[in-house]
Amino acid sequence: MSFRSAAEESVVPHLASSHSIHASLYRLCVALAILVSIPSPTIKRRYNLWIILGFPALAFLLSLGAAPSTSAQNLSPSIRGTVDNPEGSIINGAKVVLTNQGTEAIFRTRTNCKGSYEFRQLPVGTYSLSVQSPGFQTFTVYGINLAQDSDYTRQIDMLRGSMTRAILVPATVPEGTQVVRLLPPSQP
């Protein structure tokens, strides 16, 4: 006789496959469930045994299952932010490109209906972030250093027009590297 609820069917097998300790705890929980489901002289006694042994074991198993996924998410760097126009309104659908300056790996996304963008679980490194939207200047940030377990948040205020605007974020520049900044022509 097997004793499993719908919640255990959907949650516990996932946890058992994630790590070996979870597999052991899963087997322990199943053994307790079988022990509790063995017919006893009275239903009340079986119910009390389930409360004493089963619920605490299941709660312990579920609490351990949630911890690794949370900590794994926090170990990877991320970049997020919002994109607004000069009036402070969000820009939906702006093209956001993130480039790892060391490996030249490119990550792309678009802003959502709230003007937000997000890149999660990024490799450690130095990045440049570029935002483009029709009718606005291209906005680029260079030298974003991401370390393990770090996040970078940037609110970007786009300017109307067609020229490119670059923001240089302080970063260590390798010795012998020449940095060139192009400025728009001065107006009379």
- Residue 65 in this model has a pLDDT that exceeds 80: no
Q: For 103-115, what is each residue's pLDDT tens digit?
A: 999 999 999 999 9
Spatial distance between the Cα atoms of 174 and 125, rounded to a whole number of angstroms? 14
Q: For 80-90, what is each residue's pLDDT tens digit?
A: 999 999 898 99
List CB contacts of 66: < 8 A, sequence separation 6 or more.
none
Share of the chain above pLDDT 90, in %: 34
Structure confidence at residue 92 (pLDDT): 95
Q: Tell me if 47 sits within 8 A of 96, measured CB to CB.
A: no
Helix (H, G, I), strand (E, B) or coil at 27: helix
- Residue 96 in this model has a pLDDT that exceeds 90: yes
- Summary mean pLDDT of the chain: 72
String of DSSP letters for 144-178? EEE-TT-EEEEEEE--BSSS-EEEE---PPPTT--
Is pTM beyond 0.75? Reply is: no
Give φ, ψ of 8 to 5 degrees.
-65, -40
